[in-house]
Amino acid sequence: MIDIHSHILPGVDDGSKNMEESLQIARRMVESGVEQVVATPHYFPHDYHLTPAEVRDRTAILQREIVAAGLELKVWPGAEIYISRDLGRKASNKQLPTLNNSRYILLEFGFENFPPYGNDVLYDLKVLGLTPIISHPERYLFLRKKDVLLEEWLAEGALIQINSGSLLGFYGKRAQERARFYVKNDLVQLMGSDVHRGDRDRGTLKKGLEALEKQRIGRDENFMENARKVIADEIIIP
């Protein structure tokens, strides 16, 4: 399995606090069947904002520690980037970490409101040859009243990633219902754990995929194949 959304890098955001916790996360991943993971620390304009080079360097350090611990887990660099008006300019200047230096860029929105410039930013990124992946839309409150936005994003070439924990009710009943609805209606292309802590495993990919099978609401093999394509920088057709 490949996990494209994790906060496994130590000491850079609200995820893993230190290397010990990162190794705990890595160990749980390996135990659940994950073989590759993308480190996606938060990128906020005025808070966390590692450069692509910094993410690569920190990922390399973590990878060495994982190997030293005897764990078979490959870690790739990336980021979860909070939307802002100037993302197009930053992307053009190569300031934004993408997923394993690919065309795929993981985006996060505010939970309450979609910014008026949001679609313009998505367009700017597409013009630059990047493919936006919208992280955990099932958790966004604004989409519960305006689901058409998600369909518009897909029509414009964006991709959708749900959290495995959403299918398990980890973020509440409404997020669980939305995640199931999106999967049932073929609106989802990717799944990630969005893991933040080493002492929690309710949101593992394995459990999310098992929930899909148990609830019979979708085919899961496409999620992992699409994750492989993200890592390999291959085209994904929604």
What confidence score (pLDDT) does residue 147 get?
A: 75
The pLDDT score that the predictor gives to residue 217 is: 64
CA 185/CA 197 separation, integer angstroms:
31
At 47 the pLDDT is 81
Per-residue pLDDT at 203: 62
Structural domains of the chain ordered from first start: 2-232 (3.20.20.140)
pTM exceeds 0.85: yes
Q: Which residues pair with 38 in a beta bridge?
A: 76
Per-residue model confidence (pLDDT) at position 7: 97
Distance CA 48, CA 190 (A): 25
* Spans in the chain with pLDDT lower than 70: 200-203, 216-220
What pLDDT is stored for residue 30 in this prediction? 96
**90 vs 28: CA distance, rounded Å:** 35
Provide the residue type at 18 as one letter: N
Distance of CA 111 to the CA centre of its chain: 16
The bridge status of strand 2-6 relative to strand 36-39 is parallel
CA-nearest of 87, 69, 89, 63 to 27 is 69
Residues 133-166 have pLDDT tens digits of 999 999 999 998 777 899 999 999 999 999 999 9
| DSSP reduced 3-state for 147 | coil
Whether 130 contacts 103, CB under 8 Å: yes
| CA neighbor of 127 nearest in space, from 96, 88, 82 | 88
